[in-house]
Each structure stands twice: as C-alpha cells, then as structure tokens.
Amino acid sequence: MTIQYAILGYLSWHPFTGYDLKKLFAESDYFYWSGNNNQIYKTLVLLQKEGLVRIREEKQGNYPTRKIYTITEAGLMKLKMWILSEPQLPELRNPFFIRLAWSDLLDAEELSNLLSMYEKELIGQLAMFAEKQRRGIQHPARSKREEFLWKMLAKNWTANRENELAWIRELRYQLSQKWSDNR
C-alpha cells in the first residue's frame, strides 16, 4: 500500500481535506491515480485509526463539514522510515510490449500504423506535460533543495517519455529501411 505514504507525504507539506488530496492526485504526474476517491477516504480513516493523522472539523454553512487532516509526529516518523527503507525499482510493465512482441502477425502497413499511433500518443503527452510545466503547477518548495528535487522529478518524467519517443522513432526508421518492400 503505497497510497498511504503518498497521502502522508502531502500532509507533511500542508494540512488538506480528502477533497484537496483527490485534486492533488488528479493533477499530479508523479503519483499515479485512477480517479477514485474511495481509496483516499478509506486510507484517511485508516491513517487516523493508527494515529498518523489528526482531524480538525470545520463547519461552513450549508456545505458538508470539511475534515482537515494534519499529520502527527508519529505520521512524520512513519513516513520518514518508509522513505529510508529499501527502494524498489519500478516495474517495467508496458502493455505495448505485448502488442509489439506478437505484432509479426501484422503486415507492414498495420505495424506502421500501430507504431505511429504510439508515437503520436507520446508526442501528445510530452506536449501536455510541457504545457503544464509552463503554466506552473503547485508543488512544495520549502527549501532550495526541495525545489531542486521536484525539478528532478519533472526531468525524470520528461526524459522517460523522450527516451521512449527516440526508441519508437528508431524502430520505425529501421523498419522502413529494412522492410520497405511491404513484407
């Protein structure tokens, strides 16, 4: 369960409500999220039971009462301990690999189309990311070092997609060179 640490992380930055967290995850490119608040609210209840966060309720007219979550000392410790624990490499699970692995079933044109779709997706995502960065999204920058770390996260993201783009382009180029005869 990695989401609990992502939440603790955000709360180590600033107190937030579940609704805030939902939006933060939705915006974030580094903390993947599907669009489901179920998990967030459930995890918050769990974190509170374990004394890792504290709730402050804030009534506000006719709106539902906001529950503002604050990280506790124990929560900070738990987060820090997790960060320090043995990091694991990301799993390179790319469904596109499965397609490509068996795409000798396709003829030259079908394969070319497939690769071109993938390339377009990559270009699109890179453009969207660049635009987001240009507009400037919120992220913690309580110290020069923290700012630097988040800059490096962005760099990783971009480098990763650009690496993939370079790869697919080479793939397409070599295919066109070697199998230009449509076989």
Partner DNA sequence: ACCGACATGTAAGCTGTTACATGATTCC
Partner DNA sequence: GGAATCATGTAACAGCTTACATGTCGGT
- Which residues ranging from 65 to 84 are in contact with DNA (CB under 7 A)? 65-67
Tell me how far apart the alpha carbons of residues 118 and 168 are, in angstroms, rounded to a whole number.
8
158 binds DNA (CB under 7 A): no
Q: Report the 10 Å Cβ neighbour count for 98.
A: 10
Q: How many helices (H) and strands (E) does the chain have?
A: 7, 2
Count CA within 13 A, CB hemisphere, residue 83: 10
113 binds DNA (CB under 7 A): no
Count CA within 13 A, CB hemisphere, residue 111: 20
| Contact assessment for residue 103 and residue 153, using Cβ atoms and an 8 Å cutoff | no
157 binds, among a second copy, DNA, none (CB under 5 to 8 A by kind): a second copy
Q: Which of 7, 11, 24, 44 binds DNA (CB under 7 A)?
A: 44
From the list 15-23, 39-47, 53-61, 108-116, the region that binds a second copy by CB under 8 A is 108-116
Tell me, what amino acid is at 90?
P
Give the three-state DSSP class for 94.
coil
178 binds a second copy (CB under 8 A): yes
Is the Cα torsion angle 101, 107, 113, 115 positive or negative in sign?
positive
Give 72 or 168: the residue with its C-beta nearer to DNA. Answer: 72
| Contact assessment for residue 145 and residue 95, using Cβ atoms and an 8 Å cutoff | no
125 binds DNA (CB under 7 A): no
44 binds, among a second copy, DNA, none (CB under 5 to 8 A by kind): DNA
Q: What is the smallest separation between the CB atom of 119 and DNA, expressed in angstroms?
A: 24
Give the three-state DSSP class for 142.
coil
Q: What is the smallest separation between the CB atom of 169 and a second copy, expressed in angstroms?
A: 11
From the list 35-43, 72-80, 108-116, 165-173, the region that binds DNA by CB under 7 A is 35-43
174 binds a second copy (CB under 8 A): yes
Q: Which of 7, 11, 22, 75 binds DNA (CB under 7 A)?
A: 22
